[in-house]
Structure 1
Amino acid sequence: MVADNGQRRRQACAAAFRAKDTLPALVLAAGASRRFGRAKALAHWRDRPLLDHAVGQARQLSADVRVITGCRGPLLPLRAGRRPSSWLHTDDWPRGMSASLKAGMDTLPSTARGVFVVLVDQPLLDRDGLGRLRDAARQAPERPFAADYGERPGVPAYLPRWLWPAVLTLEGDQGAGKLLAAAGAWRLPISGVLEDVDTPEDLSALR
């Protein structure tokens, strides 16, 4: 009984800590992985599913990590090694990345001042770069921040709350890149953003 009470207290403390984190993180893992041919999120790199790496990256940004599932929703929680704060399923996943992003944002608390967005297919993201993104957003939560892709901003990114209404107008496989550019997002160098995994060949190249 003492052990049970101790565990409950730890869980309550963790929940309270997450509730105070006003900058949650979304991991988008709802796609069908058509180019990959199977569940890309569960493909292994360095002895872990890509999803585990993404959850770990999101943990560097926020204590409140929410994974958005779709096509293979029931399978991902069963196979994942690292547990997010919550699993969120969307039936609208065939509508593309924009639907996953909207589904995640619909669950965010009213206290959230902004949200980080992480993809499931960028396992080489630099820890220091993620730290810079986290620190920048916490210092200026009203400003948008994004990884620097050279000619454009992209994910991982931080979307302040005032930008959310525009995000909710996205359709299909549109991400937030154009919105971030239009909003003048501050770009941060994050090594590894260009080494994403779309096909089995991409994953083999990383290995």
Structure 2
Amino acid sequence: MAAGFSRRFGTADKRHAIMADGRTLLATTLAQLRSTVSTASYQVAVVIRPEDDATVLGIPADLPVLHAPSAAQGLGASIADAVRAVQADPKLSDVDSLAIMLGDMPGIQTDTFSNLISAGCRSQIVRPRYQGMPGHPVLFGRDFWPSLIHLNGDEGARTVIRENSDSLLYIDLEDSGVIADIDTPEQLVQQ
């Protein structure tokens, strides 16, 4: 998910913020995600605003891009747009689950993705937890996609998780990256 407006980051677009290694925040997050997912049975796609240029954002040309026409309405609306696009794609009709990953979380360990992906299935919501705190990415089995396409506003998918707590599986991990997103320039400097 990289369609947000990052209002807490100030006037700059945090997707372009430069990390200590010289890459942008979004590029760093995508590289971390792709290093694991490329060997798994998952495909990475980046959700951006309709007016965004994937090349300007540094999104590799081989990564599918999904545009979120409702991005201005918030994260929930962007998730709904993305799930609709995945659900409508006949090439993805056999996909059992999808992961909602935030584009501002570059510190997630590669093992975390593997652990979550191995637990994903059609009838389960899988979420990482670090020292009792829930994190991201969250995997949603296909059974929950009809609920996701009705999201709106900026709450994300919390409502779907809350309403389906009996289908929620927490994976406890020693990875503080699952709770560390970058919302301010000060947090970027601390990375």
With normalisation by structure 1, the TM-score equals 0.75
Q: How many angstroms apart in 2 are the aligned matches of 1:181 and 1:124?
A: 26
Number of aligned residue pairs: 176
CA shift, 1:157, in A, is 1.0
- Name the structure 2 match of 1:167: 148
Is 1:40 paired with 2:40? no
Higher strand share: 1
8 Å CA contact 2:69, 2:78 repeated in 1 = no
Distance 2:151 2:133 in 1: 18
Of 7, 31, 34 in structure 1, the residue corresponding to residue 4 of structure 2 is 31
Do 1:114 and 1:159's aligned partners in 2 also have CA atoms closer than 8 Å? yes
Q: Does 1:196 align with 2:181?
A: yes
Residue matched to 1:145: 126
Q: Deviations over 1:146-167 (max 9, x none)?
A: 1215556442010001111112
TM-score normalised to the size of structure 2?
Answer: 0.81
Q: Could you tell me how far 1:71 is from its partner in structure 2? A: 6.9
CA–CA distance in 1 between the matches of 2:186 and 2:50?
22
What runs of 5+ residues in structure 1 fail to find an aligned partner? Answer: 1-27
CA deviation profile, 1:107-156 (whole Å, cap 9, x unmatched):
2132221111110111111111121111212xx44321012155564420
The runs of 4+ residues in structure 1 deviating greater than 3 Å are 81-84, 149-154
Does structure 1 retain, via aligned residues, the 8 Å contact 2:97–2:122? yes
Q: Is the radius of gyration larger for structure 1 or structure 2?
A: 1
Cα-Cα RMSD: 2.2
Gaps of 5+ in 2: 87-91
Change (3 A) 1:81 1:173: closer
Question: Distance in 2 between the 1:178 and 1:149 partners?
Answer: 21
